[in-house]
Structure 1
Amino acid sequence: MKKTIAVIGGGAAGFFGAIAAAETYPQARVVLFEKGRNVLSKVRISGGGRCNVTNAAATVADLLKGYPRGAKFLKSLFPRFSNQHTIEWFEKRGVKLKTEADGRIFPTTDSSETIVRCLQQQAQQAGVELQLSTPIRQIRPVATGFELVGMDETLFTVDRVLVTTGGHPQLTGYQWLSELGLSILSPVPSLFTFNIPDSFTRELPGLSVSDTLVRLAGSKLQQEGPVLLTHWGLSGPAVLKLSAWAARELAETNYQFTSLVNWTNEKPEAARTSLEAFKKLNAGKFVATVAPFGIPNRLWRALLVENEIKDQVRWVDLNGKLFNRLLENLTNGTFQVQGKTTFKEEFVTCGGIALNQLHPQTLESKVIPGLYFAGEVLDIDGITGGYNFQAAWTTGWIAGQSIGQGL
């Protein structure tokens, strides 16, 4: 009788784990259980349907900077399977990849179906068996391995189990795992945009400001980068990165907090010097006609309205009080955030299986031998830019390579 390795969850980590297990342990039967009728649904919608496979970070140290939670754990895993290994893995299997200016890596087809087909083909070639529409509601450790209990009470007897069921917005989504005695860190959303119902920026949807500094008032948390103005508030890389790094703090405020935006991304004193020099250079011009710091014209005019500076005011006439108020709004714009919005369809959670519960070399549970974990079910999450998929590929590959040892 062949030994059976079960993989629960047909997402990125599940497929990668199943393929790695089937290729490493051809003597075993690998069965992938997916609760839905379709697999790899998150891969399909990611990156606007293009699939941001990974990030082009040049070193492991650079790659680790993309993980608000889990970086210390991943530090020992990335040398074994990093973003460079991911690139090689897909290209070796016929998927050509390209790197964009911001470091995101996509298939040259700009279609996530390229990645989906590759994973499905590799799983099929490796002999992975797919069980679709088969949700597993319970894992029972038994003397010979495990019993998996389906929703209709169907029992599946297996020898090893890899759980790759992804993140869940509610703690109840992890109850079937906590029943096994595993520690779960309560899930909260990560990677979201800021809803600001009373902001003047809502009149400027689609406008992007390339170099800003966004801060969380009352804390040291801040992020640099582009900000996108939307009809509901603020989005873009700087906001999304801040939402990830501040995920737990912002959850505690029930998403009612103050965000500070420095549109110049210069320290206030440096910005003052720059603005004074700009004023001198453009003394005879109307303030409304020339914008400093490379600020888009539409945003600049909106900032002038907010600061009650009329169109006919010339730079030379911008007096101390008006000048100081404008400088304050440029370097320390205050926005009252009231709620959040999920970034596109990319739902990411902070929380999950506590990493100190796992053997870092194998991703096997310290509590229950033979039970492994990979992907977003773990308390690992990354910022936008391919980091979450990279964590899925890395943990899936290492768990899959380890799961058949001793069978």
Structure 2
Amino acid sequence: MAWNEPGNSGGSSGNDGKNNGGDNEGNKDPWGNRNHNNNSDGPPDFDEIVRNLFGAFTGKKGGGNRGGGGNANSNGSLPLAPMIILVAVIAVVTFIGKGFGVVNEQERAVVLRFGSYVETKGPGLRWNPPLIDKVFTENVTRVRLWSTQEEMLTKDLNIVDIKLSVQYSIDSAEDFILRVKSPIDSLQQAANSALRHVVGSALMHDVLTEGRAAIAIEVRSRLQEYLNAYTTGILVDKVNIEDSNPPKQVQGAFDDVIKAREDEERFQNEAQSYANGVVPQAEGESARMIEAARAYKDEVIARAEGEANRFELLLTEYKKAPEVTRQRLYLEAVQEVMEKSSKVMVDVEGGNNMMYVPLDKLMEASNVAASEGRRGFTRQEIEQLTNHIKSEILNDLPDSTSRRSGR
């Protein structure tokens, strides 16, 4: 029975008054100036508390008068209209608050309304009605990495083990979220397909050595074509062939082949270096010989021209005095020939004897004597001896001398 029901005021009627006596008269209810339940230590009446709360909300005292209960019904219950309004206000505030959200600089928000695409929102504050709109956010600036390692068959029917990595980002958040059920799986399958197509069209030597960069570029181009056809919204930034090796069973043989290729390249570099040193030297020597030949040519031409000019001048002098010029030419020719000889021959005109003086032998004897510590003939002494012999011979032949002088 509620506190505000008739017959329950004052705590003096019925059995309650008998059991509690006069003690209940002093225990008043703190919410409506009424007594608590039969137990003085029990909680306050819940209906009274609710009425006071709604009274504060509506501007009226929830307790009303002590006897009649104010705005409450005859059985003590609250009116229905204020409760409905309060619930409606709380629901509206909650609905509006749950619709707010923030889109970061790196993100894009895809909005669906009743399951249909509406728009894609950029960075900033957004509001979408909950339970009506569904929002999916996706980071479109972060570069993501996916890698795989596969064994593939080359064009020349060899097996290679390739490790591939793909760096990609989200180009279209709408396509990435809505167009394909699992875009990452599509990326993996497309990358494997593109890699197998490119490697299957290349030779093993190119896959293992210098052709890896070209293969990576071709795989990226073909992979992007596949992803665009699938409308995955993925942009491939870079494809790397991180490693490519032959099967482990034949790794040793391939290492020997690679070493042989390295030796070949080293020998070629050494030969090229030697050629770079020899060829310029040969070219310089050739240029020097050409210049020397040109200088000799110029020298011979200049000497010939000089001799020709001298002969023309000599011809002029010969025409003036033929006998004197002829004798002078003879003496100059004999002097030029004899001055290079180490032997002296004395020819007496009109005589049958010719004296031979071996100056070279005398010089050799003098050198031997000097080496043995003995004194030998000096060159000056030999020349004096020769001149003395010449003078003695000329003195013994007066007739020839007189004839020569007269002539």
Normalised by the length of structure 2, the TM-score is: 0.17
Structure with more of its chain in helix, by fraction = 2
Higher RCO (CA 8 Å, separation ≥ 6 residues): 1
More strand by share: 1
Q: Which structure is larger by alpha-carbon Rg, 1 or 2?
A: 2
